[in-house]
Amino acid sequence: MADNMENLEKNILDYETVALDIEKYALVIIDQTQLPGRIELLSLTDLKDIWEAIRLLKVRGAPAIGVAAAIGIYLAAEQIGTDDPQLFYEEFRKAKNYLAGSRPTAVNLFWALDRMEQVVRTHLPEGTAEIRRLLQREAIRIHDEDIEVCRRIGEHALTLVKPGDGLLTHCNAGQLATVKYGTATAPMYLGQERGYDFHIFVDETRPLLQGARLTASELHAAGMDVTLICDNMSAAVMKKGLVQAVFVGCDRVAANGDTANKIGTSVVACVAKQYNVPLYVCAPTSTIDMTLGTGDEIPIEERAPEEITEMWYETRMAPESVKVYNPCFDVTDHSLIAAIITENGIARPPYKEAFRKLLPKPLPSAYNENINV
Residues 201 and 350 in one domain: yes
Residues 237 and 306 in one domain: yes
Residues 192 and 319 in one domain: yes
**Active-site pick, 146, 251, 258, 330:** 251
Residue 370 domain-assigned (yes or no) = no
Residues 196 and 115 in one domain: no
Residues 205 and 244 in one domain: yes
- 165-190 tens-digit pLDDT: 999 999 999 999 999 999 999 999 99
CATH number at residue 263: 3.40.50.10470
- 102-132 tens-digit pLDDT: 998 889 999 999 999 999 999 999 999 999 9
pTM of the model: 0.91
DSSP collapsed to 3 states, the chain: CCEEEECCCCCHHHCCCEEEECCCCEEEEECHHHCCCCCEEEEECCHHHHHHHHHCCCCCCHHHHHHHHHHHHHHHHHCCCCCCHHHHHHHHHHHHHHHHCCCCCCHHHHHHHHHHHHHHHHHHHHCHHHHHHHHHHHHHHHHHHHHHHHHHHHHHHHCCCCCCCEEEECCCCCHHHCCCCCCCCHHHHHHHHCCCCCEEEEECCCCCCHHHHHHHHHHHHCCCEEEEECHHHHHHHHHCCCCCEEEECCCEEECCCCEEEECCHHHHHHHHHHCCCCEEEECCHHHEECCCCCHHHCCCCECCCHHHHCCCCCCCCCCCCCCCCCECEEEECHHHCCEEEECCEEECCCHHHHHHHHCCCCCCCCCHHHCCC
Residue 359 domain-assigned (yes or no) = yes
Residue 368 domain-assigned (yes or no) = no
User: Of 130, 150, 170, at which residue does a domain stop?
Assistant: 150
Does the annotation count 225 as an active-site position?
no
Residue 201 domain-assigned (yes or no) = yes
CATH number at residue 93: 1.20.120.420
- 299-336 tens-digit pLDDT: 999 999 999 999 989 999 999 999 999 999 999 999 99
pLDDT at 9: 58
Name the residue range of residue 244's domain.
160-363
Residues 36 and 106 in one domain: yes
Domain count, the chain: 2
pLDDT at 363: 40
pLDDT at 361: 58
Residues 107 and 222 in one domain: no
